[in-house]
């Protein structure tokens, strides 16, 4: 899989303060979550990738384009939904989104057509001629999403897209992000302080702390691996249950009092474990997958 973002000892200094310090890592997934506490450097990283802040040391590449040398190429491929509102309030939504499409390089007629399409896509088709300044918070968030995707970017950067949304609007936003992911036409960077939003939509996550990368994790791979770890509680005599499980390639640890931890072997699934227990008249009272949540991953990264 080709990389989406390569961080190569990227450092950024604003004034006399180092904000990002030697960020290194390769991100390849279609949807990437950017996490970290306030002041970790998330917004600085986004602004640096888009060319608004110059690197002090090192560099980064987006789809192979160097942020130092090829800023215009990167901007033509990217769409950006900022956290803060960025509207011209007395413009109608369709005029505003068309204006942003033209700034992204589309000719006027195509920009207008795409503006209508983008606003219908995010659910603002009926309100597209209203002035943006009259929109509710949820509508403004959708308008920001529309201007980010109107020109058909290859990479969309979403900064706190569900910020301030009520539950139905949040679900609508997450559904749109999942649809964008499923379309296969664009990659997404989702910056959010809501771990649940990232866990529901992202395949890979990078965690920043004090301007440094402290963890990069492929969530899809971790989810797959977590399915191989089992915790069991059994009742009665084991009658060679552990030996039989080891014989089919499982790793087992007997913790006593009927508690067992097990790593499934290749080609072994939970059904095989139930079958072994049944053959030995062993009663399984509980069987569960061990699963590290994104919250567990995040807290460990903060502690380390």
Percent of the chain with pLDDT over 70: 97
H/E run at residue 220? helix 219-226
DSSP string, 143-182: HHHHHHHTT--SEEEEESTTTT--HHHHHHHHHHHHHHHH
CATH code: domain of residue 69: 3.40.50.300
Phi-psi region of 148 (alpha: psi -120 to 50; beta: other; left: phi over 0): alpha
pLDDT digits (tens, 9 = 90+) for 157-198: 999 999 889 999 999 999 999 999 998 889 999 999 889 999
Q: Which of 222, 252, 278 is at the close of a domain? A: 222
Structural domain harbouring 268: 228-289
Same domain, 207 and 69: yes
Q: List, in order, residues 6 or more apart from 273 with CB less than 8 Å away.
A: 230, 232, 245, 250, 262, 264, 284, 287
> What average pLDDT does the structure give for the chain?
91
pLDDT at 129 exceeding the cut of 80:
yes
Q: Count CA atoms within 13 Å of residue 28 on its CB side.
A: 9
Contact 181, 155 (CB under 8 A): no
Q: Rounded CA gap, 195 and 252, in Å?
A: 32
Lowest-confidence segment of 28-37, 140-149, 229-238 by average pLDDT: 229-238
Same domain, 173 and 95: yes
Q: Rounded CA gap, 40 and 267, in Å?
A: 42
Residue 132, in any domain of the structure: yes
Same domain, 11 and 151: yes
Same domain, 188 and 274: no
């Amino acid at each position: 899989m080709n990389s989406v973002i390569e961080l190569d000892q990227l450092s950024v200094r604003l004034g006399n303060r180092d904000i990002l310090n030697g960020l290194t890592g390769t991100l390849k997934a279609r949807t990437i979550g950017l996490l970290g506490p306030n002041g970790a450097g998330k917004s600085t990283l986004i602004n640096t990738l888009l060319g608004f802040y110059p690197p002090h040391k090192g560099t980064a590449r987006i789809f192979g384009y160097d942020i130092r040398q090829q800023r215009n190429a990167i901007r033509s491929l990217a769409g950006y939904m900022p956290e803060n509102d960025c509207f011209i309030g007395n413009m109608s939504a369709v005029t505003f989104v068309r204006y942003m499409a033209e700034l992204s390089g589309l000719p006027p007629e195509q920009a207008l057509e795409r503006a209508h399409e983008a606003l219908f896509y995010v659910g603002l088709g009926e309100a597209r001629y209203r002035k943006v300044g009259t929109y509710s918070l949820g509508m403004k968030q959708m308008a920001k999403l529309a201007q980010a995707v109107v020109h058909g970017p290859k990479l969309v950067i979403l900064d706190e897209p569900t910020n301030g949304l009520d539950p139905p609007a949040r679900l609508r936003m997450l559904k749109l992000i999942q649809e964008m992911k499923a379309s296969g036409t664009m990659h997404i960077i989702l910056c959010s302080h809501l771990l649940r939003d990232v866990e529901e939509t992202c395949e890979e996550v990078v965690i920043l702390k004090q301007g440094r990368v402290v963890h990069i994790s492929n969530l899809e791979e971790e989810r797959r691996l977590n399915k191989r770890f089992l915790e069991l509680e059994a009742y009665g005599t084991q009658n060679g249950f552990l030996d039989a499980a080891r014989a089919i390639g499982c790793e087992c640890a007997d913790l006593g009092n009927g508690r067992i931890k097990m790593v499934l072997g290749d080609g072994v699934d939970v059904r095989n474990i139930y079958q072994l227990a049944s053959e030995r008249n062993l009663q399984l009272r509980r069987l569960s997958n061990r699963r590290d949540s994104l919250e567990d991953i995040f807290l460990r990264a903060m502690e380390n």
